[in-house]
Amino acid sequence: MSNLSCILICFLIFINHAQPQQKEKNLNNKITKDYISVPGTKISMFSPKGFTLATDFKGFRNVATGSSIMITIIPGNINNNLPGFTKDMLQNSGVFMLGSEEFKINGFRAVLIKAKQIAYQNSYLKWMLITGNDKETYLVNGSFLEKMEKEESKTVLASVLSTVYQPDKKVNPTEGMAFELSVKNTKFKQAKLVTNSLIYTVDGLVPTKSKDLSIITASAMTLSAKVNDQKKYCINSIKQYPSISEIPDKNIMSLIIDNCMGYEIFAYGVNKKNAKTELIYQAVLFNGDMSYSMVGIAVDAFEENLKIFKQIMQTFKKK
């Protein structure tokens, strides 16, 4: 019997037959030679058969089935973050909870959620594990097509439940990212990784404590469909920002970096929350079924910040 099967069977027995007087349920996982340390995270786990490490997010992907196990780092105390995973809160984001169970993994608080979500005109099922400590929270999100529940559910669940969280592990947050940027000789400092995006602020904190509120976020993603009109795609993307209504043609420029083609766009708008004018710079590059994006936002020193945003984007390199 495989280690994955053993973990799943033990968990199901432990959940279904726990004694009523038992106050805490604790799943004890130990790292073995079959475990994989997920780059850029403090999580180690089994990779299900047919899954490989993803290139556009931290976790695993099964290319043949479209299933995935994505690991997201959420800043802050798990006790403060868990209220964001209630049935009502999940439903607000289009995720419908089917059931949940609270327990502990190696002594750390954990919540397992089974959920359903409609995306790209397909119905997906999810096994979501939230764990962490008083400083950080990890979301291990296993997702697969509902029509493949019989083939995928137990395998994905067993992998999710094999999670080992190591809070003292030293990690490089850029490890496992599909690209790299350099902010050398600029005012920006790298902040902690948030939801699989690189974030840079003047003091390296999110939220920043600096009077300079300039911020940069950068991420990569696998496209769900071929983008036939890349320019239109990029324009529609920056228009998602509520403050942006008009984009002069002269502010839309083609871009080629590291053999990737795309567009950089900048525009000005009024932030509806604080009524202040802000600059939004967006660069998107395409390479096969991958897209890479960087967004810079500034509320003052527009010319200087635009120059810095462009300078940093020019350092882009695929890994």
187 neighbors 33 (Cβ within 8 angstroms): no
Mean pLDDT of 197-211: 92
Q: Over 50: is that where the pLDDT of 274 sits? A: yes
Asked which of 108-117, 149-158, 192-201, 282-291 is least confident by mean pLDDT, the reply is 192-201
Give yes or no on whether 3-165 and 179-318 have one common fold: yes
Fold of 179-318: Protein Transport Mog1p; Chain A (3.40.1000)
Asked which of 19-33, 107-121, 141-155 is least confident by mean pLDDT, the reply is 19-33
Instruction: Say what percent of the chain tops pLDDT 70.
Output: 91
Q: 157 exposed, middle or buried (CB, 10 Å; 0-12, 13-18, 19+)?
A: buried
pLDDT band of residue 120 (cuts 50, 70, 90) is: confident
pLDDT band of residue 110 (cuts 50, 70, 90) is: very high
**What are the DSSP calls for 237-266, one per residue?**
HHTTSTT-----GGGEEEEEETTEEEEEEE
Q: CA nearest 160: which of 143, 175, 135?
A: 143
Predicted local confidence at residue 55, as pLDDT: 78
Q: Where are the domains of the chain?
A: 3-165, 179-318
Q: How far apart are CA 257 and CA 233, in angstroms?
A: 18
Q: What is the CATH number of domain 3-165?
A: 3.40.1000.10
Predicted local confidence at residue 193, as pLDDT: 66
Q: Over 80: is that where the pLDDT of 185 sits? A: yes
Mean pLDDT of 287-300: 93
Predicted local confidence at residue 171, as pLDDT: 85
Q: How far apart are CA 95 and CA 118, in angstroms?
A: 8
Predicted local confidence at residue 197, as pLDDT: 82
Q: Over 50: is that where the pLDDT of 18 sits? A: no
Mean pLDDT of 181-186: 96
Predicted local confidence at residue 194, as pLDDT: 66
Looking at the chain, how many residues does it have? 319
Task: List pLDDT tens digits, range 123-161.
Answer: 999 999 999 999 999 999 999 999 999 999 999 999 999
Mean pLDDT of 273-286: 94
Q: Over 70: is that where the pLDDT of 17 sits? A: no
Q: Over 60: is that where the pLDDT of 10 sits? A: no
Q: Over 60: is that where the pLDDT of 3 sits? A: no
Compute the radius of gyration of the chain from its Cα atoms.
21
64 neighbors 178 (Cβ within 8 angstroms): no
Mean pLDDT of 8-17: 45
